[in-house]
Amino acid sequence: MKIRPGCAQHIGSRSEQQDSFAFSHIEDAALVRRAGILAVVADGMGGLAMGRESGATVVASVLGIHEALPAPNSPSEILLQAVLTANDEVLTLARDAGVEGDAGSTLVAVIVKDDKLYWASVGDSRIYLYRSGELVQLNTEQNYTADLMRQVAAGEITRDEALNNPERAGLTNFIGNPDLKPADANIRPFPIINGDWLVLCSDGLFGTLQDDEIREELSGDPNDACERLIKKVIAVNKTHQDNVTVTILACGDKEPVTVKSRNIVMDEIYRPLPVEKSRKPLLLGFLGVVLVVVSIASIFLILKKSPEPAKNAEGGFKSHTGNRAVQSGTTSVSKKVKKAATEIKGGRSR
């Protein structure tokens, strides 16, 4: 399956760029056959020391393991080893700088191999799958918010208590942690289909834009989509805007269905219908009046030509010709209305 990469980043309002990202060598056919295609994003922790260096070290470590680890290691094993190696490298970096235990980074990495997806995640950066107009987060963030939400689900605290907890954004796991916990990763390979987009990003993106706002830009060329997302973040003009990084792997050659284009099509279908509906009753009423007048005139002519109308047993006149004509005319108009309504309904469903 063809893979098209896209990427963009912005420093935001920070003094330095502490996010790092990379792709493996997509043009290396032998590497792709052996280890698949890799994308990685790391967000150096600004609250600790050496955020920029930590993020860059993580990306370099993951790329190195992906290229060096020989077959028959599976993508899952490559990612597991990459996480452990990156953690050791950041710990060494901090120890050599005299800040051991005070340097760290998040990590999200994916490998696409043989139309299957594998991922690993440490910290609170995100991996999204965009498929058929829907944007779904694949990984589970390793931060205190996730722990709080589990307490909410268990009935231990309320949702408001969780959302208002001042420590909710704190990480419970990160690269550079002396007590590293297992990474969040998929247990079984995840099938990828033609048209899927994989989106990896730092919290500078999803911390500023809602998922619907991200989804609106996922179309066309992946690089252009990343650029539009960055511009959208900057346009918010958020105070203390964090570094922003977004990377995309567009899988296959099929264009994804976008929410924006779908809305335009639906508007075009539904907008004319109220006008058409308002005209139908007027037309029906006009035809009804004409038919009533014609029927009355017919009855008058019949009566005029018949000097002595036949009487029934009770002495009343028996003349239902006019009523039959009116009923027949009404049935004819109703059939036309039903036919027109069926055609309109068919147009709406298309």
Do 293 and 149 belong together in one domain? no
Place 255 in a pLDDT band, splitting at 50, 70 and 90: confident
More confident residue, 304 or 24: 24
Do 235 and 97 belong together in one domain? yes
Residue 260 within a domain: no
Place 71 in a pLDDT band, splitting at 50, 70 and 90: confident
Do 119 and 160 belong together in one domain? yes
- What is the pTM (predicted TM-score) of this model? 0.72
Quick check: 340 pLDDT over 50? no
Give the three-class secondary structure for 196.
Answer: coil
Do 127 and 244 belong together in one domain? yes
Do 248 and 123 belong together in one domain? yes
Residue 217 within a domain: yes
- Cα separation, 21 vs 6, whole angstroms: 11
Q: What is the pLDDT of residue 146?
A: 81
The mean per-residue pLDDT over the stretch 39-61 comes to 96
Place 147 in a pLDDT band, splitting at 50, 70 and 90: confident
| DSSP states of 108-160 | EEEEEETTEEEEEEESS-EEEEEETTEEEE-S---BHHHHHHHHHHTTSS-HH
What CATH number is given to the structural domain containing 192?
3.60.40.10
Residues above pLDDT 70, as percent of the chain: 73
Residue 78 within a domain: yes
- The beta strand positions in the chain, using DSSP E, are 3-10, 19-23, 37-43, 107-113, 116-122, 126-131, 134-137, 184-185, 190-191, 197-201, 244-251
Do 64 and 211 belong together in one domain? yes
Residue 145 within a domain: yes
Do 241 and 281 belong together in one domain? no
Q: Tell me, what amino acid is at 282? A: L
Q: What is the pLDDT of residue 47?
A: 84
Q: What is the pLDDT of residue 286?
A: 45
Place 258 in a pLDDT band, splitting at 50, 70 and 90: low
- Cα separation, 305 vs 323, whole angstroms: 18
Nearest CA to 67 out of 92, 42, 41, 30 is that of: 30
Contact 70, 78 (CB under 8 A): no
Nearest CA to 146 out of 175, 201, 184, 200 is that of: 184
Of the ranges 90-99, 113-122, 225-234, 314-323, which one carries the lowest mean pLDDT score?
Answer: 314-323
Place 224 in a pLDDT band, splitting at 50, 70 and 90: very high
Q: Render pLDDT for 7-48 as a digit per residue (tens, 0 to 9).
A: 999 999 999 999 999 999 999 999 999 999 999 999 999 888
Residue 153 within a domain: yes
Q: What is the pLDDT of residue 329?
A: 34
Q: What is the pLDDT of residue 308?
A: 45
For the chain, the average pLDDT equals 80
The mean per-residue pLDDT over the stretch 284-301 comes to 47
Q: What is the pLDDT of residue 56?
A: 98
The mean per-residue pLDDT over the stretch 333-344 comes to 38
Quick check: 226 pLDDT over 70? yes
**Domain count along the chain:** 2
Q: What is the pLDDT of residue 322?
A: 32
Structure token digits, residue 5: 């990469």
Q: What is the pLDDT of residue 314?
A: 38
User: Which domain does 318 fall in, by range?
Assistant: 272-349
Quick check: 126 pLDDT over 70? yes
Do 326 and 186 belong together in one domain? no
Output phi, psi for 44, to 5 deg.
Answer: -60, 135
